[in-house]
Amino acid sequence: MKKLIFVFFAGVSLMSCSKKDVTLPGAANQNVFFKNSNVEVKNLKTSQTSNTVIVSFSTLYENNVKRIELMSSGNENTFCTVEGEDVGGSSQTVKGYSFQDEHLKAKKMYYILRFRDNAGNWTYSNYYTINIK
């Protein structure tokens, strides 16, 4: 019975992570953090309070965007969803977002944003790193 419970929890924990086959380009300290035809992310900032990292950013526009998620990792390859928010689909006004990561996995954390469009396709931003104090 203990083995069955372990297998169940291991399977559940793996479902929330996404294995990336390509290395994402870094983009530390850029005013425009990420831009494509669906979204432009500006002013990405991170801060740390005790064991929590707060990632905040603004979108200048959102076209055909259904969901925004923050993903984290202790390396550059395997990212897990930390928090997400369903959004309205399209907007031409500036919107602010703030996500919290309370599950710090390493002394250097990597963060990416991922965006799901109305068709269910995902787009990934560059990664951002923060050294944990």
Is 19 part of any domain?
no
Residue found by looking up tokens 């169940």 in the block? 8
Q: Identify whether the C-beta of residue 36 lies closer than 8 Å to the C-beta of residue 45.
A: no
Is 17 part of any domain?
no
pLDDT digits (tens, 9 = 90+) for 103-131: 998 999 999 999 999 999 999 998 899 99
pLDDT digits (tens, 9 = 90+) for 68-89: 999 999 998 899 999 999 998 7
Percent of the chain with pLDDT over 70: 77
Is 68 part of any domain?
yes
Between 8 and 17, whose confidence is greater?
Answer: 17
Is 118 part of any domain?
yes
Is 121 part of any domain?
yes
Give a three-class secondary structure readout of the chain. Answer: CHHHHHHHHHHHHHHCEEECCCCCCECCCCCEEEECCCEEEEEEEEEEECCEEEEEEEEEEEEEEEEEEEEEECCCCEEEEEEEEEEEEEECCCEEEEEEECCCCCCEEEEEEEEEECCCCEEECCEEEEECC
Is 47 part of any domain?
yes
Is 53 part of any domain?
yes
Beta bridge partners, 56, equal 45, 98
pLDDT at 4 over 60: no
Is 60 part of any domain?
yes
The tally of domains found in the chain comes to: 1
- Name the percent of the chain in helix, strand, coil, to the closest 5: 10, 60, 30
Instruction: Tell me which residue range forms the domain holding 107.
Output: 26-74+85-131
The model's pTM: 0.78
CATH of the domain at 108: 2.60.40.10
